[in-house]
Amino acid sequence: MASWFLGAWTLPVTNDFARPTHLRDTVAVLTEATLLEALEAVKDPDLGQSIVKMGMIREIAISDGGAKLAFTCELTTPACPLREQIEKDIRGVIGAKFPEVKQLDLKMTGKVRTAGAVSAGGENLAPQLKNVIMVGGGKGGVGKSTLAVNLAYALKRLGARTSLLDLDIYAPALPELIGLHKKPNLQGQDKIQPHVHRGMEVMSMGFLVDRKQPMLWRGPVVAGIVAQFLRDVLWSEADYLVVDLPPGNTDVPLTLAQSCAASGAVVVVTPQTLSHVQAVRVRPLYDQLRVPVLGVIANMSGWSENGAARPLFPDGGLAALVESLGVPLLAELPFAPDLAQACERGEILVEARPDSDLAKTLILAAERLAAQVSVRSLEREKSQAAAAPSPGVA
């Protein structure tokens, strides 16, 4: 730094007037306290909360008189859709507030929090599964099984520990969708080891029965099967368990909500009135079970012909449906022969062709889904804090 010598006074020459006006006179001496104070301005856009207040800043190390700075920003999920924006905001604050930092080692990680509250039945048969996400629809044929598989594997690709459970015990589709047809191993007399397929634990009734065997279940039996899939399958710890539900309002979602701390549900529809009517009927079910609806995915919304978009179904009012449900639209997917062909081959599109446009849309839907789970987690934490007794109050 140059200086002008005027008698006994030494005046430093800085480049302050070369910096934007709103950043002048805002520099501070770098300490852990001033760093955290500066980063208060950075918020998670989905959650609307400061990353400092949410405890995301960890492992701060300052060395070489402030020239070197290292710390970790632990987001609420590895699948955070705004990770790059948050990192950009952090680096912008460091550059503006602490110009002496010449080397910044910023690690962006993610740790999933639990969004599920106490189950509707007051029981949690699988506490090692942080967030149980139901994927369902009011009617069959909307593609929910295909989307459940691809959402689960998209979450895994994004770095989250994810497992997949096919609970359509009437017509299990998972064995066909992933090309896996073998019985799981038993552990002892009453425990089942889930299959590990492409790095993910998966389970389905289809692995346990013959492919030609019809499946007819009475209500009490259904409740027992659902409980067994949670309690007697040796699931490892996971950030997300994605559950493919049977169509409609059955005993399966009821028992599931009573047996675990469900974080939310995704409603899959096609852009036609019949599908939307059934989706509206599903919403009160989730409300009664205290399972929040995390979003809607519109499947088979149309296709492209000679560069022009063509509808596959008459417009059933998708925008009105999403507005009436009061939830975000996670994705609007076209009718895609490539996806149908991948299913026929037992391939998972987000794994087989992750760079395709459709796979990118599915991965984006998984990111948005993870963000909604994080929002619910924050709401749950706020609710618990508000309900906790004040210090010193008996």
- pLDDT of 112-157, one tens digit each? 988 765 555 667 899 999 999 999 887 777 889 999 999 999 999 9
Band of pLDDT at residue 84, cut at 50, 70 and 90: very high
Among the ranges given (92-106, 263-277, 287-301), the one the predictor scored with the smallest mean pLDDT: 263-277
Higher pLDDT, 306 or 199: 199
Q: Where in the chain is the domain with CATH 3.40.50.300?
A: 129-375
Band of pLDDT at residue 366, cut at 50, 70 and 90: very high
User: Could you give the CA distance from residue 80 to residue 324 in angstroms, rounded to a whole number?
Assistant: 27
Among the ranges given (102-111, 187-196, 277-286), the one the predictor scored with the smallest mean pLDDT: 277-286
Higher pLDDT, 228 or 117: 228
pLDDT at 384 over 70: no
The pLDDT assigned to 127 comes to 92
pLDDT at 5 over 60: no
Mean pLDDT of the region 33-37: 95
Contacts of 244 (CB under 8 A, 6+ apart): 135, 136, 144, 145, 148, 149, 164, 165, 166, 167, 168, 173, 174
Q: Convert the chain into a string of H (helix), E (strand) and C (coil).
A: CCEEEECCEEEECCCHHHCCHHHCCCCCCCCHHHHHHHHCCCEECCCCEECCCCCCEEEEEEEHHHCEEEEEEEECCCCCCCHHHHHHHHHHHHHHHCCCCCEEEEEEEECCCCCCCCCCCCCCCCCCEEEEEEEECCCCCCCHHHHHHHHHHHHHHCCCCEEEEECCCCCCCHHHHHCCCCCCEEECCCEEECEEECCEEEEEHHHCCCCCCCCCCCHHHHHHHHHHHHHCECCCCEEEEEEECCCCCCHHHHHHHHHCCEEEEEEEECCCHHHHHHHHHHHHHHHHCCCCEEEEEECCCCEEECCEEECCCCCCCHHHHHHHHCCCEEEECCCCHHHHHHHHCCCCHHHHCCCCHHHHHHHHHHHHHHHHHHHHHHHHHHHHHHHCCCCCCC
pLDDT at 288 over 80: yes
pLDDT at 394 over 90: no
The pLDDT assigned to 270 comes to 83
375 in Cβ contact with 368 (< 8 Å): no
**Phi-psi region at 193: left, alpha or beta (left = phi > 0; alpha = psi -120 to 50):** beta
Mean pLDDT of the region 27-47: 90
pLDDT at 229 over 60: yes
The pLDDT assigned to 15 comes to 41
Mean pLDDT of the region 347-375: 92
CA distances to 17, 45, 46, 160 from 81, in Å: 37, 10, 9, 13
Q: Does domain 129-375 have CATH number 3.40.50.300?
A: yes
Q: Which of 203, 212, 285, 303 is nearest to 249 (CA)?
A: 285
User: Could you give the CA distance from residue 105 to residue 101 in angstroms, rounded to a whole number?
Assistant: 10
Residue range 12-110, CATH number: 3.30.300.130
Q: Where in the chain is the domain with CATH 3.30.300.130?
A: 12-110
